[in-house]
Amino acid sequence: MKESVALRHGVQVKPRIAPGWPRLRPKLNRRLYIGLSIIAVFILGSFLLPLLNSVDPAEQGTYLKNLPLSSKHLLGTNALGQDIFWFLVTAIRNSLLLGLGVSLAVTLISTFLGLSAGFIGGWYERIVVIFMDTFITIPVLPILIVVGALVRGNTSFAVVGVILVCFGWAWSARTIRSMALSLREREFVNMARFSGASTMDIIYREIFPYVYAYMVVGFINTILFAINTEAALAVIGLSKVQVPTLGSIIFWALNYNALMIGQTAWIMAPIAATVVLFLGLFLTSTGYNQLFAERRGVS
């Protein structure tokens, strides 16, 4: 007697799903939901709100100096005659653009070099490893301070991003290379190799799916690294402080003694925004890591 597809021996049988296929609607855990919500608020606010403002927030002397909080100036004005709220909104947008740009470049470079070096091996791997170890052993912050002191804030905003990329790819590339070294000895990789698949096909189809979760987490963490490093350089006056960023607004607030003149919002608002933004990125990173672990049955 032919068995029914839905019933077998009186027990309902659920259709099987290929283990490697993700759900169309993954259930977000609390960390990931809160983190994505915070990031969405920052992104939408920093990119949409400037459309409502026709005044350049970086222009000095636009308004009267040191005005208190009001309906016209939500965070008041600073000692440079700038609206603190609009300057902060633009600063968040520029910091996010810098972080996203640096993180995208770092992720692409580290993934390509790490996967290719770990799988191909030989002289190519030795050359890549030399570059990795060189950039890892170089102390990043002192070098950035020296470079910043040489240009003394006269470099362009894009050059700051390029410098961060140069010193930010090595650690991720080394980790991905270690993962590729382990995966290239697996049986499914050997089967793909014996079946005649090319090197790039094996890397893309067989190895890449096992490292993409680390890439996502690394991408988010690199955003933190880029924003934090640029902010540190700006606070000590070595980044381009004329461009509104979370670091440059703190630099100007410290330079004009915001707390001493009663302009608490000038320095507390960017610090609070930075903490909340970093919290959102951290929750997104750990939440996605937890989600991926649940999919693979680790937790």
238 against 249, higher pLDDT? 249
Residue 231 pLDDT greater than 60, yes or no: yes
Asked if 106 and 222 touch (Cβ cutoff 8 Å), the reply is yes
pLDDT band at 108 (very low <50, low <70, confident <90, very high): very high
The Cα–Cα gap between 48 and 37 comes to 16
Within 138-240, where are the H helices? 140-151, 157-166, 170-183, 187-194, 199-202, 208-235
Average pLDDT of every residue of the chain: 81
Asked if 26 and 292 touch (Cβ cutoff 8 Å), the reply is no
The Cα–Cα gap between 190 and 181 comes to 13
Q: How far is CA 173 from CA 107, 215, 266, in A?
A: 8, 10, 39
Asked if 91 and 266 touch (Cβ cutoff 8 Å), the reply is no
65, part of any domain:
no
Amino acid identity for residue 61 in this structure: G
Residue 174 pLDDT greater than 70, yes or no: yes
Give the chain's domain count: 1
pLDDT of the residue at 1: 43
* pLDDT tens track for 6-17: 444 444 444 444
Q: Measure CA 101 to chain center.
A: 9
As a whole number, mean pLDDT of residues 93-102 equals 92
68, part of any domain:
no
As a whole number, mean pLDDT of residues 119-124 equals 83
pLDDT band at 180 (very low <50, low <70, confident <90, very high): confident
Which distant-in-sequence residues (6+ apart) come within 8 Å of 205 by Cβ?
192, 197
The Cα–Cα gap between 220 and 198 comes to 31
Place of tokens 């670091």: 247
DSSP run (H or E) holding 274: helix 264-295
Asked if 92 and 172 touch (Cβ cutoff 8 Å), the reply is no
5, part of any domain:
no
74, part of any domain:
no
pLDDT of the residue at 152: 64
CATH number of the domain enclosing 230: 1.10.3720.10
Q: How far is CA 181 from CA 120, 142, 167, 211, 223, in A?
A: 9, 32, 23, 12, 27
90, part of any domain:
yes
57, part of any domain:
no
Residue 95's domain spans which residues?
28-46+80-295
The Cα–Cα gap between 47 and 68 comes to 26
As a whole number, mean pLDDT of residues 75-97 equals 92
pTM above 0.85, yes or no: no
pLDDT band at 34 (very low <50, low <70, confident <90, very high): very high
Place of tokens 């000895």: 185
53, part of any domain:
no
Nearest of 81, 110, 104, 45 to residue 276 by alpha carbon: 45
pLDDT band at 280 (very low <50, low <70, confident <90, very high): very high
52, part of any domain:
no
* pLDDT tens track for 193-214: 777 777 777 777 777 777 888 8
